[in-house]
Structure 1
Amino acid sequence: MKSILVFACLSIALCLAAPAPDAEIVNQESDVNADSYSFKFETSDGTKQEQHGSLKNLGPEEDALQVAGSYSYTGDDGKTYTITYVADENGFQPQGEHIPRS
């Protein structure tokens, strides 16, 4: 169940970091293996994202996807925003200067 939550959070993060409709991908790399993956891309509008993930064994019959990455984009105010994150059995944990800390 937790791995589904992690996947859902990652999907949201990917949507938030999606390039603008008129941006073009200028650099893209990926590496996919049976138990891990990594990718990164950069678009013509300066948006960047990179992520890597691997399976983590939580017990005899439970694995979870452990993911770490970052993305950056230019906001409507002209500032560049960068978010780094970890997503694992503890959920999606983003960090960024503009994200309030609890």
Structure 2
Amino acid sequence: MKCIIIFATLLALALAAPLDEPQIVRYDSDNSGLGSYSFAFETSDGVARQEEGHLVNEGTEIESLQVQGSYQYVGDDGNLYQVQYTADGNGFQPHGDHIPHV
């Protein structure tokens, strides 16, 4: 009987504990498989990302994917960090106020 009471107490405490897991509050996706895609999501803890991409020079030897997007998150310091980026034949190119310019 004692074990059942202890187990029930521990179970009640575990169920009453707040959830630390962020929840998805928005999710959109469009991927037709025809050379382009887009997606976006946002979570309850301030994380968000959106991206779209498409094929360039389709059907040639220099076919590649060109991507544009952005993401944001709240850092350990409590500040919101935002990054916009492109990724193409020139590589990944991020831009943000907190990223040093070269």
TM-score, with length taken from structure 1: 0.76
Paired AA for residue 81 in structure 1: Y
- Structure 1, unmatched stretches of 5+, are 1-20
Q: CA deviation at 1:32?
A: 0.4
Residue 99 of structure 2 is matched in structure 1 by 99
Q: CA deviation at 1:59?
A: 8.1
Q: State whether structure 2 residue 44 is matched by structure 1 residue 60.
A: no
Q: State whether structure 2 residue 49 is matched by structure 1 residue 49.
A: yes
Residue 24 of structure 1 is matched in structure 2 by 23
Q: Percent identity?
A: 52
58 and 100 in structure 1: CA distance in 2 versus 1, 3 angstrom threshold: farther
- When you count strand as a share of all residues, which structure comes out higher? 1
Alignment RMSD, CA only? 1.6
Q: Hey, what's the Cα distance between the residues in 2 that align with 1:42 and 1:93? A: 22
Q: CA deviation at 1:46?
A: 1.1
> How many aligned positions are there?
82
Q: CA deviation at 1:61?
A: 1.7
Paired AA for residue 87 in structure 2: A
* Higher relative contact order, chain-length normalized (CA < 8 Å, sep 6+): 1
* Bigger Rg over Cα: 2
Q: Residue 46 of structure 2 aligns to a residue in which SS?
A: coil
Show structure 1 runs of 4+ deviating over 2 A.
none
Q: Hey, what's the Cα distance between the residues in 1 that align with 2:48 and 2:41? A: 6
Residue 80 of structure 2 is matched in structure 1 by 80
